[in-house]
Structure 1
Amino acid sequence: MSGAATEEKLREQLRAAGLEIGGFCERIAERGPQLLHNAALLEDFTPEEVGILGGAMLLVRAHPGQALITEGQVGDWMLLLLSGTVDVTKRSPGGEVSRLAVIRQGTSFGEMSMLDGELRYATCVAIDEVEAGVIGRHAIAWLIREHPAVGAKLLVKITQLMAQRLRNTSNQLIRMLEKQ
């Protein structure tokens, strides 16, 4: 599939989810130092590199109560929360919904499905007005091809963030097991 066709497929998925699509996020660095400071995904990038990365990201908006990601669905893209707050929940086999986290500006989410192609693990719903940058697997491939240093840095950063989350989850599991 061509890059244009792949991007259109992503746009269709985002529209089907009811998300409002803006343009690209190439001016993401202009959102101010607070976003760059709060976004672990961006902390190792220069403002110029953030601009390149933003040029590969689509801007989406969601209203309160709107799902950005739905558990069990397919998705080969991830998001960087630019503004707003998102509730992350997981449904148990018995149907009970548990809150996993509340995430704020600067948090990235959706990386696992983007990388491994598996179904979404959790549901992420806007608590208030949300803006997020969306980057798909195809856009990362484009970054690696056209801007190898930025693409490689992004993959390393995603890997580091996922490793940290796995470490945190493992520590929580150990604490729960010790209480039993």
Structure 2
Amino acid sequence: MKRMRVKVEPGRMEKLLARSGWGAAFEEDDLRSVAERFWLETAPEGEALFEQGDRDAYMGIIVDGAVDISRRDGGGADRLITTLGDGAVFGEMSVLDGQSRSASARVRKDLTMVVLTAEDFGRLVVERPRLGLTLVRAVSRLVSLRLRQMDNLLEEYFG
């Protein structure tokens, strides 16, 4: 199996987003509009989705499978940060800020994910401002949650 985009029938993307928990932020009609911006992608175990420092801007929501998130340390060795599974979101920072990747993502277990590019994200914000604001809030909540988790880890580490 190689990494590839998969065409989905109408209505399936909304179901995938709803099942992931991501769809909870949207009303039914809005979810349909948001779902039109996502695509389904599969990737095999071991596939590098992106590397730390890459500039490709998209976020993924895991439908099935697992993804390892890692960072290179000062000596250049990859350090596993976490392994994400079904329903988890990754890559969201690049959609918001367009900066290079702060970590690497590699498929741990054959993956099916839904993907949203920064370009489609931005287009939605411009074309449908109210819906775009809901999407920005959902992604911002996720980023905020990650920052709070990091704060807790730092507090535990430093006492």
Q: TM-score range by the shorter chain?
A: 0.7 to 0.9
TM-score by length of 2: 0.87
Report if the CA contact (8 A) 1:25-1:56 is conserved. Answer: no
Report if the CA contact (8 A) 2:62-2:86 is conserved. Answer: yes
CA-atom RMSD in angstroms: 2.0
Distance 1:134 1:174, change over 3 A: same
Pick aligned residue for 2:7 from 1, 23, 34: 23
Aligned pairs for 1:42-53 within 5 A: 42-53=23-34
| C-alpha deviation, 1:46, in angstroms | 2.7
Aligned pairs for 1:62-77 within 5 A: 62-77=43-58
Which residue is equivalent to 1:129?
A: 110
User: Is the partner of 2:109 in helix, strand or coil?
Assistant: coil
- Whether 1:36 and 2:18 are equivalent positions in the alignment is yes
Report if the CA contact (8 A) 1:25-1:58 is conserved. Answer: no
Distance 1:136 1:101, change over 3 A: same
| C-alpha deviation, 1:38, in angstroms | 4.2
Q: Distance in 2 between matches of 1:139 and 1:145?
A: 10
| C-alpha deviation, 1:23, in angstroms | 2.9
Deviations 1:119-149 (A, max 9, x none): 1111111111111111112212221233333
Which residue is equivalent to 2:150?
A: 169
Which structure is higher in strand share?
A: 2
Aligned pairs for 1:84-123 within 5 A: 84-123=65-104
Distance 1:105 1:48, change over 3 A: farther
Report if the CA contact (8 A) 2:14-2:23 is conserved. Answer: no
Report if the CA contact (8 A) 1:77-1:137 is conserved. Answer: yes
Q: List alignment gaps of at least 5 residues for structure 1.
A: 1-17
| C-alpha deviation, 1:117, in angstroms | 2.0
User: Is the partner of 2:81 in helix, strand or coil?
Assistant: strand
Q: List alignment gaps of at least 5 residues for structure 2.
A: none
TM-score by length of 1: 0.78
Distance 1:89 1:164, change over 3 A: same
Q: Distance in 2 between matches of 1:69 and 1:136?
A: 13
Task: Output the amino acid matched with 1:43.
Answer: A
Distance 1:96 1:107, change over 3 A: same
